[in-house]
A = this chain, B = another copy of it.
Amino acid sequence: MKLDKNKGITAAKGWQASGVASGVKSGGKKDLALIYSEIPAETAAAFTSNQVVAAPVIVTRELLKSESKTQAVVVNSGNANACTGEQGLANARAMIRLVKDGLNLRAGALVASTGIIGEQLEMDKVGPAISLAIEKLDTGGGQDAAEAIMTTDAFLKQAAIEVELGGVIVHLGGMAKGAGMIAPRLTPHATMIVVITTDAAIAPKLLQKSLNAAISRSFNRATVDGNTSTNDTVIFLANGAAKNKKIESNTSSDFQIFQRALNELLIYFAKMIVSDGEGATKLITYKIIGAANEVEATVIGMSIANSILVKTAFFGGDPNWGRILVAAGMAGIPLLADRLELSIGGVALVKGGQGVEYDKQIIKNVLGAPEIAVTLDLKQGESEAVCYGCDLSYDYVKINAEYHT
């Protein structure tokens, strides 16, 4: 079980993909991705919990109520098709129709969009692009697809992992995008778009169960800016092409192995998205231990990861533990303040709720690294959670203040 960062959405058997330029994005950049499986795939999904929901999310959510299997996913970037009313809904449905007709599908197709909010999609560009994407579908098209879903992303995000289930090699592969408006809080537990494919044979209920479990430990513990987008979508598709003995029980060892692989893949994407956070210079992991339960640990971790006082201190390379304790204390979870223990990069800064002496040179080195590990021990119980955040830099302000609608 090893993550391969050079493979992605087409790593699993039976999956093809493509990425093309529709002209919605300027400069001939790829902005439309298509993923396809000849074998209809069991489908699990998770969407944004924002009350303002983009048209493709509404349409895909509706479709999943009636269609249980999926053969294709079309994703466009550059336009989120959000706050676009009835026309937006009609455009999202038209994209699906073009895919289904063009590929002559027996099962369903899903749609996701990311980009500017409040503008209608240019369907005269999107339509021909879908036709081109169908032509270009290829088992080696994963990287093109991953490139086509990028918006403010500084780097392409794809990865794959393989596991052995009962002597059969099963693959999971995926692509992700996202750098800003990131604090997914997905429901059932997602401007982040993630598509994961697998060739595993797995019962649909277990597919959704495994996705929920992995999301709760990855995207729902990740934040760039505390903002939950209108478009966040995670789609997980399993076509069974690996021909493993179908995973039917969540207590089976096969399910556990599958779950661990999915967790590793999604945590990798969550960390990559946060690393690519707008203006971010550091990835910071907040491990909250000694919590009464995992939910409380997560709420406290996210409160710290979202604190702009903490984020700016990390940008400045300052071990400002007071700000971390403040952010923990405002999470709405009862704390025993005089028990708190805090360390950064293994250097103890707080014991018994009070500051302790530390080596300034060592902490300087710790804070200068691109990845920083913070551990806060609540001394209240046995539960823990790891949350993922980034710093807040001048470039964050530049990117978001100089962006003009």
Residues of chain A at the chain B interface (Cβ within 8 Å): 49-53, 82-85, 116-119, 180-181, 183, 185, 225-230, 306-309, 312-313, 315-316, 318-323, 325-331, 333-335, 337-338, 340, 350, 352-355, 392-394, 396-398, 400-405
Contacts and interface: CB of A to CB of B under 8 A. Distances in A.
9 contacts: A51-B330, A52-B337, A83-B350, A83-B354, A118-B354, A230-B322, A308-B396, A315-B397, A318-B405
A116 B326 CA distance: 12
Given A83-B322, A308-B308, A402 B330 contact: no
B118 A355 contact: yes
Nearest to A325: B52
Contacts of A308: 225-227, 308, 392, 396, 400
B330 A185 contact: yes
Number of copies: 2
Contacts of A85: 338, 352-354
Most buried by B among A52, A228, A402: A52
A49 B330 contact: yes
Given A52-B329, A321-B118, A330-B49, A401 B83 contact: no
A260 B101 CA distance: 66
Contact of A397 (B228, B329, B335, B397): B397
B393 A322 contact: no
B393 A83 contact: no
Contact of A309 (B49, B225, B329, B402): B225
A402 B227 contact: no
Given A83-B355, A226-B307, A315-B397, A326 B405 contact: no
Nearest to A119: B355
Given A52-B328, A312-B400, 8 more contacts: A52-B337, A83-B355, A117-B322, A227-B330, A316-B400, A316-B403, A318-B404, A319-B405
Given A117-B326, A355-B118, A315 B185 contact: no
Contacts of A309: 180-181, 225, 227, 400
